[in-house]
Structure 1
Amino acid sequence: MATHASAAARRSSRSPLVIDITRLGRRPGSMITVDTTVPSPTRIGVELIAIEEGAPLELDLRLESVSEGVLVTGTMSAPTSGECGRCLKPITGEVSIDLTELFAYPDSTTDETTESDELPRVGRERGTETVDLEQSVIDAVGLALPFSPVCGPDCQGLCPDCGVALEDAEPGHHHEKIDPRWAKLAEFGEKDGDDA
Structure 2
Amino acid sequence: MPAAGLGLLDVIAVPEGGTVELDLLAESVVEGVLISGTASADVAGECSRCLDPISDHVEIKLMELFAYPDSATDETTDEDEVSRISDDLIDLEPVVRDAVVLALPQVPLCSPDCLGLCVECGGKLAELGPDHGHETMDPRWAALQERFGGNRDNSEEN
Interval of TM-score (by shorter of Structure 1 and Structure 2): 0.7 to 0.9
Q: Would you say how many aligned residue pairs link Structure 1 and Structure 2? A: 154
Of 163-172 and 132-141, the range deviating more from structure 2: 163-172
Q: For 1:136 and 1:165, how far apart are their aligned partners in 2?
A: 39
Residue 82 of structure 1, CA deviation: 0.2
Q: For 2:56 and 2:24, how far apart are their aligned partners in 1?
A: 22
Residue 170 of structure 1, CA deviation: 5.0
- Pick the aligned partner of 1:156 from 96, 115, 126: 115
Q: 5+ residue gaps in structure 1?
A: 1-37
Paired residue secondary structure (1:168):
helix
- Pick the aligned partner of 2:42 from 60, 67, 79: 79
TM-score, normalised relative to structure 2: 0.88
**Structure with the largest fraction of strand:** 1
Show the counterpart of 2:54: 91
Show the counterpart of 1:7: none
Of 160-169 and 56-65, the range deviating more from structure 2: 160-169
**Structure with the largest fraction of helix:** 1
Q: Once the two structures are superposed, what CA deviation does each residue of 1:64-109 show, in whole Å capped at 9, x if it has no partner?
A: 1111111000000010000001000000010000001011111111
Query: Sequence identity, in percent?
Result: 53
Change (3 A) 1:66 1:178: same
Residue 161 of structure 1, CA deviation: 0.8
The amino acid that maps onto 2:8 is V
Show the counterpart of 1:34: none
Show the counterpart of 1:109: 72
- Pick the aligned partner of 2:16 from 21, 46, 53: 53
Paired residue secondary structure (2:141):
helix
Change (3 A) 1:123 1:191: closer
Alignment of 1:99-178 (within 5 A): 99-124=62-87, 129-169=88-128, 172-178=131-137
Q: For 2:140 and 2:33, how far apart are their aligned partners in 1?
A: 68
Q: For 2:150 and 2:63, how far apart are their aligned partners in 1?
A: 73
Change (3 A) 1:185 1:131: same
Q: For 1:100 and 1:182, how far apart are their aligned partners in 2?
A: 64
TM-score, normalised relative to structure 1: 0.72
Change (3 A) 1:98 1:119: same
The amino acid that maps onto 1:91 is I
Q: For 2:102 and 2:36, how far apart are their aligned partners in 1?
A: 17
RMSD over aligned CA atoms reads: 2.1
Q: For 1:163 and 1:120, how far apart are their aligned partners in 2?
A: 48
